[in-house]
């Protein structure tokens, strides 16, 4: 499904519908979500041509948790083109481009000792705190979906953690509905412009949570520098509540990707632990794709 068909298929509706319709509905959804976190890995044979059963299994997990880990049975045979074809089977085409993306739209996330990319944390072995990809973009043109494919794991560490945005929003709202409303305000989080190293990125001001045609989206970073939060007591309390929810282990999915495995998901908050590469073999390498299209969970 491309962005145009997404916008025409889902007519605007009450953003509190579905998951957040009422307390009973929310409690049922949260219970099912927590249970499904232990079943998010799907084995696949050929990523470029999924079987009907494989496709359905992936879609079911995307629908339940906004994420899935696929595991290729033959990791050595997987190439970049097959990864792109896998994404296409879920409506993800034409990856968004950024400063260090390759011609095919995939970025190679690995430790860079030199060059401009070495100035950015993803290209180091340091921990990456909670964030959504492209959080610095306008909420009117966000990254809606992403793919992380592991070519080579680290010798030690590098595990990922991710949380469905719906779980976060619901828990924040459960603490105090005013917090959820505050984090949906259009001037909550400001990211300054970045002109360093040819980035040529404009400043962006927008909400943390926002709805598009009834679907929850999120724009967030836990970093302390180069981000400015609206200075009100309510926003401060809401931000603290969100940070508390991010540390709730019952809603976090934790996984260490191995060669031939990948995370396919909506653009949900995620983080990476620090890692150590081997001294005598190539280090951790992840292919990353970012997409403006929402990921399709429809059959």
Q: Is the pLDDT of residue 126 over 70?
A: yes
If pLDDT is split at 50, 70 and 90, which confidence band does 119 have?
confident
Closest Cα partner for 58 from 297, 274, 248?
297
Question: Which range (55-64, 109-118, 219-228, 279-288) has the least confidence?
Answer: 109-118
The Cα–Cα gap between 75 and 152 comes to 10
Token pair for 279: 């001294």
**Contact indicator for 96, 291 with CB cutoff of 8 Å:** yes
pLDDT band at 237 (very low <50, low <70, confident <90, very high): very high
Measured between alpha carbons, how far is residue 216 from residues 224, 229, 292, 294 in Å? 25, 21, 14, 11
pLDDT band of 295, cuts 50, 70, 90: very high
pLDDT in tens, 7-23: 433 333 444 457 887 88
CA distance 247 to 252: 8
CATH among 3.60.130.10, 3.30.470.30, 3.30.360.10, 3.40.630.10 for 3-291: 3.60.130.10
SS3 of 169-214 = HHHHHHHCHHHHHHCCCCCCEEECCECHHHCCECCEEECCEEEECC
Positive or negative: CA dihedral 199, 202, 205, 207: negative
pLDDT of residue 115: 62
pLDDT digits (tens, 9 = 90+) for 206-226: 999 999 988 899 999 999 988
């Amino acid at each position: 499904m491309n962005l145009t068909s997404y916008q025409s298929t889902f007519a605007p509706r009450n953003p509190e519908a579905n998951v957040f319709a009422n307390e009973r509905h929310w409690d049922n959804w949260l219970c099912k979500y927590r249970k499904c976190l232990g079943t998010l890995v799907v084995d696949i044979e050929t990523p470029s041509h999924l079987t009907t059963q494989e496709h359905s299994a992936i879609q079911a997990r995307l629908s339940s948790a906004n994420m899935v880990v696929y595991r290729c049975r033959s990791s050595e045979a997987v190439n970049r083109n097959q990864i792109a074809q896998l994404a296409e089977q879920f409506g993800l085409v034409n990856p968004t481009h950024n400063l260090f993306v390759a011609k095919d739209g995939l970025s190679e996330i690995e430790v860079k000792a030199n060059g401009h990319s070495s100035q950015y944390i993803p290209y180091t072995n340091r921990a990456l705190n909670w964030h959504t990809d492209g959080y610095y973009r306008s909420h009117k043109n966000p990254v809606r979906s992403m793919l992380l494919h592991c070519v080579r794991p680290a010798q030690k560490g590098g595990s990922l953690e991710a949380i469905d945005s719906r779980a976060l929003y619901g828990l924040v709202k459960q603490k105090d509905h005013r917090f959820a409303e505050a984090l949906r305000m259009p001037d909550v989080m400001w990211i300054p412009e970045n002109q360093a190293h040819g980035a040529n990125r404009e400043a962006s001001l927008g909400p943390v949570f926002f709805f598009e045609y009834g679907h929850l989206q999120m724009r967030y970073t836990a970093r302390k520098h180069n981000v400015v939060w609206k200075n009100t007591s309510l926003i401060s309390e809401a931000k603290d509540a969100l940070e508390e929810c991010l540390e709730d282990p019952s809603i976090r999915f934790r996984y260490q990707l191995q060669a031939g495995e990948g995370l396919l998901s909506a653009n949900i908050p995620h983080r990476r632990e620090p890692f150590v590469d081997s001294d005598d073999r190539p280090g951790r390498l992840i292919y990353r794709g970012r997409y403006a299209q929402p990921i399709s969970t429809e059959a």
